[in-house]
Structure 1
Amino acid sequence: MDQGIKPINRRQGLRWLGAAGGLWAAALAPAWAQSWPAKPVTVVVPWPAGGPSDIAARPLAKGLQDALGKPFVIDNKGGSGGNIGTAAMLQAPADGHTLLVTSSAPVAINPSLYKKMPFDPAKDLIPVTNVLRVPLVLAVPPNSPLNDLKAVMAQIKAKPAESIFASAGNGTPQHLTGELFADALQVQMTHVPYKGSAPALTDLMAGHVPMMFDSLASIGQHIKSGKLKAIAVTGAKRTPLLPNVPTLAEAGLPGIESYAWYGLFVKAGTPAAVVQQLNAEALKVMKTPEFQRTLADTGSEYVGDTPVNFAAFVKAEAEKWGRLVKISGATVD
C-alpha cells in the first residue's frame, strides 16, 4: 500500500457516501425537471367527454403540448363520481407523465360521500394548481312568480316543508350548494337529485321543479335565451356574462360563496422539481390569450396558484363540503 494514502475507515466511508448521495440527489432534481416530459403525457379526466371538466383540461393540455413539444393526450374515464378515473390515474408511475384534471368531487367531496374510497386524495395526490373556477347560479323557471332572492327566501321560510330544489345528483357541488343555502336560512329543504345537469335543467325549464343551483357554464345559455330566470350568483363578485344578476351577498344573504372548480394534480411521489415545472408551465398557459378566451366564454375565473396554496385550498374545501354532506345525510352507497 502506498504510504502516502491513508485507509478510509467504515464510519468515514458511510459519511462520504451520505454526502455524495446528498450531492447526487441535489444534482438529480434539476435533471428530472430538464428531462420532463420525456414522452407523451396522459391527462386523465375522470368524467365523460364533453363535460365541464373538459373546459379546463382541453385548453390546458393543448397549451402544455404547444409549450413543451410533447403530446398531452386527454383520457376521459368516467364513473362513480370521478372515483374510477382518479383510481386508474393512480396506477401509473409517479413521474409526471400521467396527470389528473378534475372537479372538486373525487378530491374534496367523495371522501365524505362514499363509505369506501379506492384511494385517499390527501395522501395519494399532490395538488399542482387550481385551473379555473365557475360560480353557480340560483335559477327558477321563467314563469315563476319569484323575481329576487328576498322573495325566494320569504317563500322558503314561510313553507319550508314544501320547498324543493333540484340538482345534478347527490353530493355534487350543485346539491351541496343547495344544502349550504338551506343551512344559511336555517331550514330543511327537499332535495331532488337527477343524473346530471341536463335532465335537471329540462325539468326546471318546464316548471316541474321550482329552483336549482347550477354551474354558470351549464346554465348560462338558458338564462340568456330566457328559458330560465336567474336570481343570484354564488361568487364573490358579479360575472360579466350576467352583469345584472347580483351575488347572494348583494341580494341579502352574505357569507355564502360556492364555485365549481377544476384543478390539476399528480400522483404522490412525483419529484418536486417536476411538480414545480408543471406548475410554472401551467400558469404560463393559463395566462395566454387563448386560455383567457376560454375563461371569458364560459364565465370562469382565473385562479392559478402555487402547489402549497392550492393544497391548503383543497383541504379547506374538503372540510367545508364534508360538513354539508354530514348535515344533509347525502350518500351514494
Structure 2
Amino acid sequence: MKRRICLGLAFAIVGSTAFAQSYPTKPIKLLVPFAPGGTTDIIARVIAEPLGRELGQSVIVENKGGGGGIVGALETSRAAPDGYSLGIATVSSTATNPAINPKIPYNTLTDFTPVINVAATPNVLAINPKFGPTDHKSFLAMLKASQGKYSYASSGTGGIQHMLMELYKNLTGTFITHIPYRGAGPALNDTVAGQVPIILDNLPSALPFIKDKRLLAIAVAAPQRLEVLPDVPTFKEVGLEPVNRMAFYGILGPKGMPKEVVDKLNAAVKKVLQDPAVRKRIEDTGSLVIGNSPEEFAQQIKAEYDVYRKVVMEQKLTLE
C-alpha cells in the first residue's frame, strides 16, 4: 500500500512538472472585475500584450463589472485551477467589500491563488478649495470643532474610498457623514462643484482636478511624498500611518493552481515589469510598480482584509 501511495505521489509530481513546463498551450484569460476605462482596466491592458509575448500565448483581457468587483472575482474563483483563467485583484474585490458584506459568495483568503501584485496607486484626501482649511492640521481642527456637520463623497459603499475614510474617522475620533455615489466620477464632480466638501479618492482620477486647482489635496496615502504633489504630506507624516494604504492591482487565480504554474506566471510578469516602456505606462496612471512574490501578495491581501474588517466592526458599518 505504501509503495502504491509513493508511486502515485511520484506520478503526480512528474505530471505537475510536465504540465508546468508545457504551460501555456492556449490563450489565457485575464478578467478585469470592472468596466473598461478605469485604472484596473488600464493596468491589465498594459501588461497583457507583453505578458503574452513572454509566455508565447495571447493574454486576452475581459471585463466583467458588477458589485464593486464581486461579480468578476467570483467568476475567477470558480474557474478551473489550470492557469488559463486569471483575474485582476483589487482592494475592493479582495478586502473592503468582503469585509463589509458577509453574503459575498467567496472567501478572499481561501478561494484564490495569489500570483503577483503588479502595481499600487496612492490615494489622496482632497477638499473643495472654498471649504476653508488650507492644510491637514486646519482641516482636522475644523472637523473636531464641528462634529457631524460635514460630509464626504465616495465611489460607493464598501469601496476603498469609503472604507479608508472610515478608518480615518476612527483614528481621528471625528464624525463625517458618508455620501455614497455610483462611481468616482460623480463623487468627484459633486466635490468640485461644492455639493460635498470632502473626498478621498484614487490619485489618477483626482489629480487632474488638483492640478487645475479645483480640488485642494491635503494628505496622500503613499510610502513617501509624490513628485506630482511635492508639498502634500503623507498620512504617516501627519501622524496617521495606518491610513497610509494604497489601492493595489494584482493577479490571482482560483485556489489549487500548481505552484510551478504560479511561479512561471510570476517570473513572466516580473520580466514584463522590467521593460521601461511598460513601467512608464503604469507610472503614467499615477501608480507605482510593485512586482512581488506570490507569498508577499498573499500577505498583502490578508493584511488589507484584516484592517478593513476591524474598521467595519469598530465603526459598525453595514451595507444599508
TM range (shorter): over 0.9
Whole-Å separation in 1 of the counterparts to 2:250 and 2:87:
8
Whole-Å separation in 2 of the counterparts to 1:327 and 1:209:
25
- Alignment of 1:261 onto 2:248: yes
Q: Which amino acid aligns with 2:114?
A: P
Secondary structure at the counterpart of residue 187 of structure 1: coil
Q: Deviations over 1:182-203 (max 9, x none)?
A: 1111122211111110001001
Query: Deviation of residue 97 (structure 1)?
Result: 0.2
- Are the equivalent residues in 1 in contact too, given 2:125–2:218 (CA < 8 A)? yes
Whole-Å separation in 2 of the counterparts to 1:314 and 1:56:
18
Whole-Å separation in 2 of the counterparts to 1:326 and 1:23:
47
- Alignment of 1:322 onto 2:312: no
- The 1:251/1:316 distance shift into structure 2, 3 A limit, reads closer
Whole-Å separation in 1 of the counterparts to 2:278 and 2:96:
27
> Where does residue 267 of structure 2 map in the other structure?
280
- The 1:325/1:55 distance shift into structure 2, 3 A limit, reads farther
Aligned counterpart for 2:120 among listed residues 126, 129, 133: 133
| Matched residue count | 320
Secondary structure at the counterpart of residue 117 of structure 2: strand
- Are the equivalent residues in 1 in contact too, given 2:234–2:244 (CA < 8 A)? no
> Where does residue 83 of structure 1 map in the other structure?
70
> Where does residue 199 of structure 1 map in the other structure?
186
> Where does residue 150 of structure 2 map in the other structure?
163
- Are the equivalent residues in 2 in contact too, given 1:149–1:231 (CA < 8 A)? yes
- Are the equivalent residues in 1 in contact too, given 2:96–2:163 (CA < 8 A)? no
- Are the equivalent residues in 1 in contact too, given 2:126–2:215 (CA < 8 A)? yes
> Where does residue 279 of structure 2 map in the other structure?
292
Q: Which amino acid aligns with 2:156?
A: G
- The 1:117/1:256 distance shift into structure 2, 3 A limit, reads closer
> Where does residue 10 of structure 1 map in the other structure?
none
Q: Which amino acid aligns with 1:214?
A: D
- Alignment of 1:210 onto 2:225: no
Query: Deviation of residue 249 (structure 1)?
Result: 2.8
- Alignment of 1:73 onto 2:35: no
Secondary structure at the counterpart of residue 311 of structure 1: helix
> Where does residue 6 of structure 1 map in the other structure?
none
Query: Deviation of residue 45 (structure 1)?
Result: 0.8
- Alignment of 1:187 onto 2:174: yes
Q: Which amino acid aligns with 1:151?
A: S
Query: Deviation of residue 324 (structure 1)?
Result: 1.2
Secondary structure at the counterpart of residue 123 of structure 1: coil
- In the TM superposition, 1:1-333 aligns within 5 A as 14-332=1-319
Whole-Å separation in 1 of the counterparts to 2:232 and 2:211:
11
- Return 5+ residue gaps in structure 1 as ranges: 1-13
Larger radius of gyration: 1
Whole-Å separation in 2 of the counterparts to 1:110 and 1:292:
29
Q: Which amino acid aligns with 1:162?
A: K
Give me the TM-score of the superposition, normalised by structure 1.
0.91
Whole-Å separation in 2 of the counterparts to 1:250 and 1:316:
21
- Are the equivalent residues in 2 in contact too, given 1:81–1:110 (CA < 8 A)? yes
Whole-Å separation in 2 of the counterparts to 1:157 and 1:122:
37
Q: Which amino acid aligns with 2:153?
A: A
Please identify, of 149-158 and 232-241, the stretch whose mean Cα deviation from structure 2 is larger. 232-241
Secondary structure at the counterpart of residue 265 of structure 1: strand
Query: Deviation of residue 70 (structure 1)?
Result: 0.9
Percentage of pairs with the same residue: 37
Give me the TM-score of the superposition, normalised by structure 2.
0.95
Secondary structure at the counterpart of residue 36 of structure 2: coil
Secondary structure at the counterpart of residue 179 of structure 2: strand
